[in-house]
Chains A and B, each alone.
Chain A
Amino acid sequence: AQSVAQPEDQVNVAEGNPLTVKCTYSVSGNPYLFWYVQYPNRGLQFLLKYITGDNLVKGSYGFEAEFNKSQTSFHLKKPSALVSDSALYFCAVRDSSGSARQLTFGSGTQLTVLP
């Protein structure tokens, strides 16, 4: 079975400070990992993905994520937060072993960037 956890329901950070949104996963094989962002009353927008290769993945809007196999984590980061980054962020995983059919999403983390 595959699963993903986002341990923080809410993250607050001051504008200009670095931000981190945490994600851990559990899979049988190798993971395919994704981050999506959702603005109020909108659908999800793709930010970035890790499939293979470099552990540091760069995505849209200055976001990046670091894949750590030993810690089974895929934390989302940004060096300098903007107020416009305030949104709901979802991590998702798919096990490459084929034991699961679709993506599994985390419960989401509400990021608030304070001016």
Chain B
Amino acid sequence: DGGITQSPKYLFRKEGQNVTLSCEQNLNHDAMYWYRQDPGQGLRLIYYSQIVNDFQKGDIAEGYSVSREKKESFPLTVTSAQKNPTAFYLCASSIVPRLAEPRSYEQYFGPGTRLTVT
């Protein structure tokens, strides 16, 4: 799991509540990512950020929000608007992806947070 920490490991919430998942890295990486993992669907990109105070939507951003106030931190908020929030959430980081630098596409993952909403 390298230098990326996610907390908590397990999280339980009632439907209708917002919840924030923590992701911290000490790898000095500029880029950070949030993925959602569901059985049989692989990883789907929620949001990513390549620099502080900037982030972009991924493939399934609806119902989620992020912030990037510090290089080391990229918290994800699962809002009550997310219709099916129960899932395993993975945070990752990398150096900033550049076409001329293929190794920049190698991502380092945290241990994940399993969110259950009832």
Whether the Cβ atoms of A106 and B42 lie closer than 8 Å is yes
A70 is an interface residue with CB less than 8 A from chain B: no
Whether the Cβ atoms of B109 and A90 lie closer than 8 Å is no
C-alpha spacing A44/B106, complex, angstroms: 11
Q: Find chain B residues with CB under 8 A from A49 CB.
A: 102-103, 106
Q: Find chain B residues with CB under 8 A from A107 CB.
A: 40-42
B63 is an interface residue with CB less than 8 A from chain A: no
Number of A interface residues, CB 8 Å? 25
Q: What residue in chain B is nearest A95 (Cβ atoms)?
A: B99
Whether the Cβ atoms of B112 and A42 lie closer than 8 Å is yes
C-alpha spacing A102/B38, complex, angstroms: 19
Residues of B within 8 A of A (CB): 1, 4, 6, 9, 33, 35, 40-43, 45, 48, 56, 58, 88, 90, 92, 97, 99, 102-103, 105-112, 114
